[in-house]
């Protein structure tokens, strides 16, 4: 019985030490440690389960990856700012900024999101022509639901604006498709 208790004690002690060192690495900006800490809080592994802390660590790791140029993380961070989820503020201007960074790297999700922000005038002035352009590029890059949104937007454009949008979409596709 003493051996079992000693083993359990050692396991708990080592688990605690591991979560402390993970926490230190996470605070120092280690993305892998931030992701691990997020999972630990999400699942209650080695720490008390805390979905708020999990969201905070998810946002920190996503923001770091986004700043390093990861287009998927930029798109996710844009969504976090748009919704206010992930332990942070709701800020449409920052959402547009992160969607634009993602879109300009050829990320179809970012392109669709940016087009939708232009379509709705969220965090950016409403602009059906630019909405059409970005939704066209997203469609050409394989984003399935963008085509339907693009057609909705096209109904708001004059024939002249539609033609200009198609030309601009071609230029954007050449520039922002990878």
Say if 79 falls within a structural domain: no
Say if 1 falls within a structural domain: yes
Is residue 141 within 8 Å of residue 111, measured between CB atoms? Answer: yes
Which residue has better confidence, 19 or 178?
178
Which of residues 68, 83, 107 is at a domain's end? 68
- Do 99 and 159 lie in a common domain? yes
Mean pLDDT over each residue of the chain, to the nearest integer: 88
Q: How many domains does the chain have?
A: 2
- Do 131 and 50 lie in a common domain? no
> How far is Cα of residue 27 from the mean position of the Cα atoms in its chain?
21
Report the pLDDT averaged over residues 65-87: 92
For 112-132, what is each residue's pLDDT tens digit? 999 999 999 999 999 999 999
- Do 45 and 110 lie in a common domain? no
- Do 100 and 162 lie in a common domain? yes
Q: How far apart, in Å, are the Cα atoms of 98 and each of 9, 34, 158?
A: 46, 21, 30
- Do 52 and 99 lie in a common domain? no
Print the domain residue range for 13.
1-68
In this predicted structure, what is the pLDDT of residue 23?
85
In this predicted structure, what is the pLDDT of residue 64?
93
Q: Distance between CA atoms of 177 and 39, rounded to whole angstroms?
A: 33
- Do 103 and 177 lie in a common domain? yes
Place of tokens 């605690």: 16
For 24-71, what is each residue's pLDDT tens digit? 998 888 989 999 999 999 999 999 999 999 998 999 999 999 999 999
Say if 81 falls within a structural domain: no
Instruction: State the pTM of this model.
Output: 0.82
Is residue 19 within 8 Å of residue 49, measured between CB atoms? Answer: no
């Amino acid at each position: 019985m003493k051996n079992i208790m000693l083993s359990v004690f050692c396991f708990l002690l080592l688990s605690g030490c591991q979560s402390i060192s993970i926490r230190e690495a996470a605070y120092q900006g280690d993305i892998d440690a931030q992701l691990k800490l997020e999972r630990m809080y999400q699942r209650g592994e080695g720490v008390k389960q805390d979905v708020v802390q999990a969201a905070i660590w998810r946002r920190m790791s996503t923001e770091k990856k986004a700043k390093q140029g990861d287009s998927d993380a930029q798109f996710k961070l844009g969504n976090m700012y748009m919704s206010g989820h992930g332990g942070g503020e709701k800020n449409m201007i920052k959402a547009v900024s992160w969607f634009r960074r993602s879109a300009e790297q050829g990320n179809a999700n970012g392109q669709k999101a940016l087009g939708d922000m232009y379509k709705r005038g969220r965090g950016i002035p409403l602009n059906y022509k630019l909405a059409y352009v970005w939704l066209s590029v997203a469609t050409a890059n394989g984003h399935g639901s963008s085509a339907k949104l693009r057609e909705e937007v096209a109904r708001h454009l004059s024939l002249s604006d539609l033609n200009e949008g198609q030309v601009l979409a071609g230029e954007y596709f050449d520039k922002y498709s990878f």
